[in-house]
Each structure stands twice: as C-alpha cells, then as structure tokens.
Amino acid sequence: MASSLFYLLLLVQVCSITAKRLDTTKSPRFPAILIFGDSLLDTGNNNFIPTILKANHKPYGQDFPWKIPTGRFSNGKLVSDLLASALGIKDAVPPFLDPNLPQKELQTGVCFASAGSEYNDMTTVMRSNDVTINYFSGGDRRLQFLLIGGYHDFLLQRVQAFVKELYNQGRRNMLIAGLPPLGCWAAGFNTGGRCVDYSQSQSYDQKLVAMLSQLQESLPGSKLVYADFYTPLYDMMNNPQK
C-alpha cells in the first residue's frame, strides 16, 4: 500500500511542478537522469533504428509542445519526461540515438528506452510485455519454465543483474517500475470486454518489491525505489470518470 501511495503522490507532484516554469537558479538534487525501458518510456530512439515500431507520425505528439510527433508513443510527454521535469533536471529527456544530440544533454541525462525491447542479452532492458509475450506466447519459454512463477523468478534475476551492473558503474538512486495490468490492455481484453488474467502482474510485482528490499541492503549507499504502475492504471481503467 505504501508503494502505491508513493507513486500516486509522485504523479501529483509531477503535475503541479510541470505546470510551473522550472527555477534554473537552483541546483537539482539529482544532476542527471538515465531512462531504460520499452515504448512506455521511449522518447524517440526508434526514430533512428530500422523497425516498424515508430511513433514519429500523427496522431502522436498532438499535445506535445509545438504539436509535433517526436517518436514518443503518446499524445504528449511521457512519465520519464515528467519525472525529469519534477526533479528540476530538464523539461524533457532526449533519445540517446539522436545523431544531433547536444553534448550538454548527455551531461544531464538521456533515454535509452526503445519500443519493442525485451529483457534479454540483446537489449539488456525490460519491456512491460516480457511476461505475456515471452511466456504465454512462446513455446520454448513455457517448456523451460513449466509454471509462470518460475518465469517471474527468471526475469527478476535479470532485473537484479541489471541493477547491480548499474550500481557497479556508479549509479546509486534507481526507480524500478513494476508491471502494469497487462491483461487489461485493449489488445488483451477477452470477447466479453473484460481483462484477461491480470494476477500474474500482481504476483510479479510482489516478488519485485521483496527482491529490491533485499538487494538494497546488499548495495551500500543505494536507494532502490519501487514504482507501482499497476494500481493507478487499473484504477483509471475501472474508474474512467475520475
């Protein structure tokens, strides 16, 4: 419950801070921000790689400043942009693969997220659909892990290894997001318009919270914060009138 409250409060703070002009006379608490993930956080890296997963066309970006599609899979800014703005670092996080990226942007942080990326040896980032795509749709994974819980453990091992790698490179403050209600995406509804089994997201998230708590104790000086994507998104889907 505490993690859910933290994330909801964070969103409120983000909205209130981004509505104001950033005070550039004050030094931000965090000098830079690095973003890893999939289409939920991709700020435009897929514009510069050969893939059909692109958002550099309308209707994307219609509510973004200057009303242009930037490669974000959104009508406006992403959570990564809002977080960077709330922390007073920058208004938006640019994609790392942008060939025209100014040097000063590298000093304050960039986005490495890429739509369609997976948590495997080829991409080293986790996509929110790793559970549904790689387990439920992949015969090899289902043979390797007879139970979904085993696949959760496999993914968490990869998360742990990735966090440790970032820690060894000098990163200390990390925000690790849990899974959203995967079975509640539009493409995941059943014929009755109801969510497909979403309990797997909750099971994974519970294990993630426990793992991060133990991992933080083993990494001196680290601050590992769990971001609850599940609760606010599920609430929005069930209470759109809010």
| Statement to judge: residues 134 and 51 lie in one domain | no
pLDDT confidence tier of residue 233, bands split at 50, 70 and 90: confident
Cβ pair 72, 44 in contact under 8 A: yes
Q: pLDDT tens-digit profile of 186-206?
A: 666 666 666 766 667 888 999
**Alpha carbon of 10 to those of 52, 75, 83, 113, 150: distances in Å?**
33, 21, 8, 21, 32
| Statement to judge: residues 109 and 72 lie in one domain | yes
**Alpha carbon of 48 to those of 61, 96, 101, 153: distances in Å?**
17, 10, 12, 33
Residue 95 within a domain = yes
Residue 232 within a domain = yes
Q: pLDDT tens-digit profile of 33-87?
A: 999 888 888 999 999 999 888 999 999 999 998 899 999 999 999 988 999 999 9
| Statement to judge: residues 36 and 147 lie in one domain | no
| Statement to judge: residues 67 and 144 lie in one domain | no
Q: Single out the residue in 117, 138, 160 at which a domain terminates.
A: 117
Q: pLDDT tens-digit profile of 101-151?
A: 999 999 999 998 888 775 544 333 444 444 444 434 444 544 454 567 777
User: 168 vs 136, which has greater pLDDT?
Assistant: 168
Reduce the DSSP state of residue 169 to 3 states and report it: coil
**Alpha carbon of 90 to those of 106, 151, 164: distances in Å?**
12, 37, 26
Residue 2 within a domain = no
| Statement to judge: residues 113 and 89 lie in one domain | yes
| Statement to judge: residues 175 and 106 lie in one domain | no
If one counts the domains in the chain, the total is 2
This prediction's pTM: 0.74
Residue 7 within a domain = no
Cβ pair 34, 124 in contact under 8 A: no
65 DSSP 8-state letter: G
Q: Single out the residue in 100, 117, 134 at which a domain terminates.
A: 117
Q: Single out the residue in 98, 117, 136 at which a domain terminates.
A: 117
Residue 142 within a domain = yes
Cβ pair 92, 41 in contact under 8 A: no
- State how far the Cα of 219 lies from the Cα of 103, in Å rounded to an integer: 31
pLDDT of residue 95: 96
| Statement to judge: residues 126 and 102 lie in one domain | no
Residue 215 within a domain = yes
Radius of gyration, CA atoms only, the chain: 18
Listed in sequence order, the residues at least 6 apart from 93 whose beta carbon sits closer than 8 Å to its beta carbon are 33, 35, 43, 80, 81, 84, 109, 110, 111
Q: Which domain holds residue 85?
A: 31-117
| Statement to judge: residues 126 and 112 lie in one domain | no
| Statement to judge: residues 147 and 72 lie in one domain | no
